């Protein structure tokens, strides 16, 4: 075939392209990684002219313009109105993103086929006469949208909140938290143990302690905190807050850390004291990173704010 093409070049003088030498569509795909859809559509539109199909330049450009406008409108104005944790909201965003992306991939594919003809013959007439495989292009668009939809909805399933229920309380947590086997980490009073799913750097332990009589959050704290100091004398209190409320229950919140002279292996804690009838709930967030008091605090607060206590819980 190569020998035939070389002979053909000698026999027939190639026709120069009317709008300039066609570009390699692969270069346009590289540009699309760094530039928005609009830039990609401009490159593809200009290349349609060079491939002898100027009538397809404007539709390609319009896809880029409309796609960019829709993306901006949806991402800027649509996010507050769509629940991305639902299949419907995630699917809408997936379609908005995947349709123009799949369209451009399909255009790059069909242009690449025509560009190979140009590389073989360097004859514009052969390029202009090339029959494009539009069925394959349509298949690329459909498959692209279906793949993005599938991946997006799989992420929704994976990111679905986890719910823990027992006779004392209910907790609803995001997929970023993992429910651990409490029996492996504690022996008494443990109801629930959570850890950040990725590294287990941060844990949240829910404990239930029986009370001899009803008491305030202050009294509950004053009864438990000295016991902690007795067990671990190097605890250093850094914050005490008495205006916390968890599911309508008055709560004492403290922050402290386990101080070591060498500054190594320090642990940081945020602890909630919640008395309810004849039961006291202690929720302890622990981390080896002081970010537990700052950026990680928001994630911990989301867990704490999801707690719902059952009315009339009793010490078992």
In the chain, how long is the greatest CA-to-CA distance?
106
pLDDT for the residue 316: 46
| pTM score, whole prediction | 0.57
Place of tokens 């999801």: 306
* Residues 77, 93: Cα–Cα separation, whole Å: 12
1.10.8.60, 3.40.50.2000, 3.40.1000.10, 3.50.50.60: CATH of 162-309? 3.40.1000.10
284 Cβ neighbours under 8 A, 6+ residues apart: 204, 205, 207, 269, 270, 271, 272
CA 9 to chain centre: 54
* Residues 43, 23: Cα–Cα separation, whole Å: 9
pLDDT for the residue 315: 44
- 301, 204, 293: which is closest to 251 by C-alpha? 301
Per-residue pLDDT of the chain (316 residues; tens, 9 = 90+): 565 456 545 545 566 666 677 777 766 655 554 456 788 888 899 999 888 899 999 999 998 888 888 877 777 676 666 666 678 888 888 888 888 889 989 999 999 998 898 888 888 888 888 899 999 999 999 999 999 999 988 888 777 788 888 888 899 888 888 888 887 777 678 899 999 877 788 999 999 998 988 899 999 999 999 998 988 888 989 899 999 899 999 999 999 988 877 766 678 999 999 998 889 999 999 988 776 777 778 888 889 999 999 865 544 4
Sequence spans of domains, the chain: 2-158, 162-309
pLDDT for the residue 135: 93
């Amino acid at each position: 075939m190569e020998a035939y093409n070389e002979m053909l070049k000698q026999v027939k003088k190639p026709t120069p392209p009317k709008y300039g030498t066609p570009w390699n569509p692969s270069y346009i795909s590289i540009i699309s990684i760094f530039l928005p859809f609009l830039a990609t559509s401009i490159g593809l539109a200009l290349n349609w002219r060079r491939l002898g199909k100027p009538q397809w330049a404007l539709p390609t450009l319009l896809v880029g313009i409309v796609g960019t406008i829709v993306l901006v409108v949806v991402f800027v104005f649509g996010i507050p109105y769509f629940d991305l944790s639902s299949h419907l909201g995630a699917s809408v965003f997936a379609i908005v993103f995947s349709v123009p992306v799949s369209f451009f991939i399909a255009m790059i594919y069909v242009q690449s086929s025509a560009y190979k003809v140009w590389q073989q013959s360097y004859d514009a007439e052969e390029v202009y006469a090339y029959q494009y495989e539009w069925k394959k292009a349509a298949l690329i668009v459909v498959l692209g949208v279906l793949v993005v939809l599938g991946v997006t909805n799989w992420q929704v399933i994976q990111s679905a909140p986890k719910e823990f229920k027992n006779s004392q309380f209910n907790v609803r947590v995001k997929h970023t938290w993992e429910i651990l086997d409490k029996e492996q980490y504690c022996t008494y009073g443990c109801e629930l143990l959570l850890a950040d799913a990725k590294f287990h750097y941060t844990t949240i332990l829910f404990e239930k302690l029986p009370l001899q009589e009803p008491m305030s959050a202050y009294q509950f704290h004053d009864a438990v905190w000295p016991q902690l100091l007795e067990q671990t004398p190097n605890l250093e209190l850094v914050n005490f807050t008495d205006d916390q409320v968890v599911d309508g229950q008055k709560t004492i919140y403290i922050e402290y850390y386990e101080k070591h002279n060498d500054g190594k292996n320090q642990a940081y804690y945020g602890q909630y004291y919640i008395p309810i009838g004849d039961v006291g709930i202690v929720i302890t967030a622990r981390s080896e990173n002081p970010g537990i008091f700052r950026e990680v605090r928001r994630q911990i607060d989301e867990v704490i704010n999801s707690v719902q206590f059952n009315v009339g819980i009793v010490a078992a």
